Amino acid sequence: MIKEKAYAKINLGLDVLKRRADGYHEVKMIMQTIGICDNLTFEKSEAPGIHLEIAGADLPADGNNLVCRAATLIMETGKVAEGVHITLQKRIPIAAGMAGGSADAAAALRGLNNLFGLGYSTRELRELGVRLGADIPYCIEGGTMLSEGIGEILTPLPAPPDCHLVVAKPDLDVSTAYVYGNLKADSLPFHPDIDGMAKALARGDLAGITDRMGNVLETVTEKAYPVIAQLKGQMRDLGAENALMSGSGPTVFGICKEKETAEEIAAAIREKEPACAVFVTTFYEGMKGAYGS
């Protein structure tokens, strides 16, 4: 049996450069894996086909699930005739801006590559992944990366200095398609300084990173859901270095130098917003070096 962990991500910075003629948006983002994860197992089965069992979430386990779609893709491409039984223990909030589905799909590509000895390299797994979703290539290895194009052009960056995160997911599901569909990509009121943040990462300069946190998708999601601005304000007021919405939202994260500060903020949010799912975690360095390139 193969076990894989599927880690969530946040965006330390997220800029949209333009909307392409094919409808995709060209992005420039700094992605960071965090310590919240789903757990998957993969086992060969007597019965042919792909069998998925899900615990911890009310998600369909049918062919629409990203795990099944990833399994179908890699098993067809790799000409695998055997069957597989997959279990998914879901902990990453769904439709949250944390790439939970993409992380699961990437974990399925890694897990089945191992289980069936297919021998695909990281680059080949990324190429398979981008056919299913723009964040999947990043999720193959995770860590700290600059993500450009539609998400498929990835450049590893130095990890940020150690710190603690408070992560709050309001009780709303936000569709990524809705957010990008309502984004005025040609007239954004600001563009975060992604190049400056990459330089701050290289210097190990936490203030240089937190000062440059910005996400242009807040222009859509924050307007629709005032709780996002409230959570950011609350995190900053209680001592976070800075706070930002992740991806298309509605998850908000705050970066703290001390674990106690992150825990105090988490307790305050649990009291004021009891419907929020709240986590205290850290950055995670990802699975770099696990595969040949």
What distances in angstroms separate CA 39 from CA 53, 129, 168, one per listed residue?
12, 19, 21
Binding of ligand ATP at residue 99 (CB under 6 A)?
A: yes
Contact between 101 and ligand ATP (CB under 6 A)? Answer: yes
Does the protein bind ligand ATP through residue 176 (CB under 6 A)? Answer: yes
Is 75 strand, coil or helix? helix
The answer to whether residue 67 forms part of the interface with ligand ATP (CB under 6 A) is yes
Query: Which DSSP string corresponds to 193-238?
Result: -HHHHHHHHHHT-HHHHHTT-EETTHHHHHHH-THHHHHHHHHHHT
Instruction: Find the binder of ligand ATP among 1, 55, 94, 207 (CB under 6 A).
Output: 94
Nearest distance from C-beta of residue 130 to ligand ATP, angstroms? 13
Q: Does 221 bind ligand ATP (CB under 6 A)?
A: no
For the question of residue 9 being annotated catalytic, the response is yes
66 is a contact residue toward ligand ATP (CB under 6 A): yes
Q: Which amino acid type is present at position 243? A: A
Residue with smaller CB distance to ligand ATP, 116 or 180: 180
Burial 47-71 (b: 16+ CB within 10 A, else e): eeebbbebeeeebebeeebbbbbbb
| Residue 230 contacts residue 236 (beta carbons within 8 Å) | no
User: Pick the catalytic residue: 9, 28, 90, 169?
Assistant: 9
Biggest CA–CA distance in the chain, Å, is: 57
Q: How far apart are CA 208 and CA 204, in angstroms?
A: 9
Task: Name which of residues 237 to 266 contact ligand ATP (CB under 6 A).
Answer: 247-248
Give the C-alpha distances (Å, rounded to integers) separating 291 from 45, 95, 140.
25, 29, 10
Stretch that binds ligand ATP, among 62-70, 123-131, 226-234, 279-287 (CB under 6 A): 62-70
- 105 to 144: interface string for ligand ATP, x by CB under 6 A: ------------------------------x---------
95 forms part of the interface with ligand ATP (CB under 6 A): yes
Q: Contact positions toward ligand ATP, by CB under 6 A? A: 59, 65-67, 94-102, 104, 135, 176, 247-248
Active site residues: 9, 135
